[in-house]
Structure 1
Amino acid sequence: MASLPLALVAASCVLLLATSAAAPPPAVHVVGGEKGWMVPPSGTEASSSFNQWAESHRFVVGDVLGFKYSKNDSVLLVPGDGYEQCAMAGAVIRFDGGHTNFTLDRPGILHFISGAPGHCQAGQRMAVRVAAALSSPATAPAPTAVPATPGNPPAAGSTTTSQTIVVLKLTTSAIVWVAIVCLFLFILTCIFSERELHPPRGMASLPLALVAASCVLLLLATSAAAPPSPAVHVVGGEKGWTVPPSGTETSPSSFNQWAESRRFRVGDVLDFKYSTNDSVLLVPRNGYEQCATATAVSRFDDGHTNFTLDQPGVFFFISGAPGHCEAGQRMAVRVATAPAAAPAPSAVPATPGTPPAAAGSSSQTIVVLKLTTSAVVWIATVCLFLFILICVLFYCNHQQVKMARDFIRCRGQIGQ
């Protein structure tokens, strides 16, 4: 029975380690190794090319590509035809900060080229194939390969059966938290039971209760410091991803007006809900303006797609069904940099009226003091720590007074 507190403390340490190891960090691949993102020495793709480097690595959803390059260079994410033709005008996003970490957030093939003149033709381009993670969360389904000819939706008139399946997913972190709460309640039960049976022992178990409470608050602080859950935006509201009623982009129900009424940050999720005869295409700017489905970077056509906004800039979406884009089923989404994120890449310039309007020339700085959950937990932790110190000092003082009384009582008995 005396070893019970030690066993409980050991179990708490094990659970603390399990909580820390529940979310392993993603793999970071430095593009090109030590040389980084630069023109291959030979000037051709025949030797020491980036494609050979990419083929020698395995990439899964969640991995990070680390681009290191000079200030005069840049990294462009382009569609397949932009990669083959070294066309910088069709870039989806441009990075030019000298060091870029690009998160691979979905399966498929991603194409990168250099934005410096002549570098792509000299071999500074790369195609990366991303596989689905084995234990990745159920976010966006793997995009299907973009067809060579535009507009190949599923055959119309086919009978489909709609079925909704609700799945309760119990993650590892949820299991760990349930175990931590149960362990904490078990510790308190043991301490109060000991206090009722043996009051002196219960008083001696007070430090153990305080240590257990400190461990729980430390875990709460660690959990609160984690990034909050991303915001999910249902595209088009209740109507979903469909052709606007009026059939034009100037109607009040247009998707661009819907996007302009919201603020999107890195990590947010776009929730597309559409019929099985429709689809969602991620395209570059020129593909958005011309409703060119052949320029699509990724295609989703399963009826329900969650698309994660993984970097700042402007994202362009159009419908893959014939005539839908021309009827107004297209959208430009401007994504702002999330707090404490990587430096924002420069957005690809767009023609007036296409994406949401840019900010004016005047600027102002707004400082917002937000009392977050982590701040509340840390304040509670500091208060509990001070309470522990007071209890320890009180306990030591109580022991000293008791020893002094025992000493006086012994001297009195000896004197008698």
Structure 2
Amino acid sequence: MAIFGVGNVVLILSILCNVVPSLGTKYTVGDTSGWALSGDYGSWASGKTFKVGDSLVFNYPSGHTVDEVSGSDYKSCSGANSISTDSSGATTIPLKTAGKHYFICSVPGHCSGGMKLEVNVEAAGSSGGDSTPPASGGGSPSTKTAPKQDVPAPSSSSLAAASSFLSWVGVMMIVFLAF
């Protein structure tokens, strides 16, 4: 009977690991201002450390787009060869790979008006350093910035989600082991 109970626990944990979404951080681009012409996205991103598994959430009214583009298209504000594009008003971009990621609004004049975002995504297991976009007009996309000495603590929402999930798993294990 105990083997049957352990088998159930292993099965349930296996299912949970595949069904429960990642505990990555969701960053709302521009915070409460959203994705708009008035945003300063270089400053917004400068104090944040983005990791594989995190997501960028773009909220914007009609008349805008979110295009992921190459580094050269970012510099020239061109959406002609977009990697992906969306104009739904609520775009969530999962950060799946480490490295530089570039986003623009491809509506004429919007990117050059400031609707552009560059983020440096770290591997999920790497130690934290702040992602710092290059100063306007400077640096090549391959230039690396030394990490700051003060590493920000994980967000309270990430910690709360992880704690809640682990507590739930613990309770479920106790319940299933009892049977």
Give the TM-score of the pair, scaled to structure 2. Answer: 0.67
* Gap change, CA 1:355 and 1:256, over 3 Å in 2: farther
What CA deviation, in whole Å up to 9, does each residue of 1:35-91 have, x standing for no partner?
A: xxxxxxxxxxxxxxxxxxxxxxxxxxxxxxxxxxxxxxxxxxxxxxxxxxxxxxxxx
- Residue 156 of structure 2 is matched in structure 1 by none
1:352 aligns with 2:131: no
Larger Rg computed on CA atoms: 1
- Residue 284 of structure 1 is matched in structure 2 by 70
- Which of 324, 329, 346 in structure 1 is aligned with 2:115? 329
* Gap change, CA 1:363 and 1:236, over 3 Å in 2: closer
CA distance in structure 1 between the partners assigned to 2:141 and 2:29 by the alignment: 16
1:258 aligns with 2:44: yes
Whether the 8 Å contact between 2:65 and 2:105 is mirrored in structure 1 is yes
* Gap change, CA 1:275 and 1:354, over 3 Å in 2: farther
Q: Secondary structure at the match of 2:144?
A: coil
Whether the 8 Å contact between 1:256 and 1:355 is mirrored in structure 2 is no
- Residue 19 of structure 1 is matched in structure 2 by 12
CA distance in structure 1 between the partners assigned to 2:12 and 2:65 by the alignment: 39
Q: CA deviation at 1:15?
A: 2.3
Whether the 8 Å contact between 2:22 and 2:53 is mirrored in structure 1 is no
Q: CA deviation at 1:14?
A: 4.1
Whose RCO is larger (CA < 8 A, sep 6+)? 2
CA distance in structure 1 between the partners assigned to 2:140 and 2:114 by the alignment: 12
1:307 aligns with 2:82: no
Whether the 8 Å contact between 1:291 and 1:325 is mirrored in structure 2 is yes
CA distance in structure 1 between the partners assigned to 2:22 and 2:88 by the alignment: 28
* Gap change, CA 1:24 and 1:359, over 3 Å in 2: closer
* Gap change, CA 1:354 and 1:242, over 3 Å in 2: farther
Correspondences of 1:127-206 after superposition (within 5 Å): none
What CA deviation, in whole Å up to 9, does each residue of 1:320-377 have, x standing for no partner?
A: 222111111001111122217xxxxxxxxxx7257697325x998x9xxxxx97xx99
CA distance in structure 2 between the partners assigned to 1:263 and 1:279 by the alignment: 24
* Gap change, CA 1:322 and 1:363, over 3 Å in 2: closer
CA distance in structure 2 between the partners assigned to 1:233 and 1:363 by the alignment: 20
CA distance in structure 1 between the partners assigned to 2:17 and 2:32 by the alignment: 37
CA distance in structure 2 between the partners assigned to 1:274 and 1:356 by the alignment: 30
- Residue 57 of structure 2 is matched in structure 1 by 271
What CA deviation, in whole Å up to 9, does each residue of 1:94-139 have, x standing for no partner?
A: xxxxxxxxxxxxxxxxxxxxxxxxxxxxxxxxxxxxxxxxxxxxxx
Structure 2: state its 5+ residue gaps. Answer: 127-136, 152-161, 168-179
CA distance in structure 1 between the partners assigned to 2:62 and 2:5 by the alignment: 50
- Which of 239, 242, 245 in structure 1 is aligned with 2:36? 242
Whether the 8 Å contact between 1:334 and 1:356 is mirrored in structure 2 is no
CA distance in structure 1 between the partners assigned to 2:61 and 2:109 by the alignment: 15
Whether the 8 Å contact between 1:289 and 1:354 is mirrored in structure 2 is no
Structure 1: state its 5+ residue gaps. Answer: 1-5, 26-171, 174-226, 245-252, 341-350, 367-371, 378-416
- Which of 81, 93, 96 in structure 2 is aligned with 1:295? 81
Q: Secondary structure at the match of 1:281?
A: strand
Whether the 8 Å contact between 1:282 and 1:297 is mirrored in structure 2 is yes
Give the TM-score of the pair, scaled to structure 1. Answer: 0.31
Q: Secondary structure at the match of 1:22?
A: helix
* Gap change, CA 1:356 and 1:330, over 3 Å in 2: farther
Whether the 8 Å contact between 1:334 and 1:355 is mirrored in structure 2 is no
CA distance in structure 1 between the partners assigned to 2:141 and 2:118 by the alignment: 5
Q: Secondary structure at the match of 2:80?
A: helix
Runs of 4+ aligned residues of structure 1 deviating over 3 Å after TM superposition are 353-358
CA distance in structure 1 between the partners assigned to 2:148 and 2:121 by the alignment: 18
Q: CA deviation at 1:315?
A: 0.5
* Gap change, CA 1:254 and 1:363, over 3 Å in 2: closer
Q: CA deviation at 1:274?
A: 1.0
Aligned residues: 145
Q: CA deviation at 1:261?
A: 1.7
Whether the 8 Å contact between 1:274 and 1:303 is mirrored in structure 2 is yes
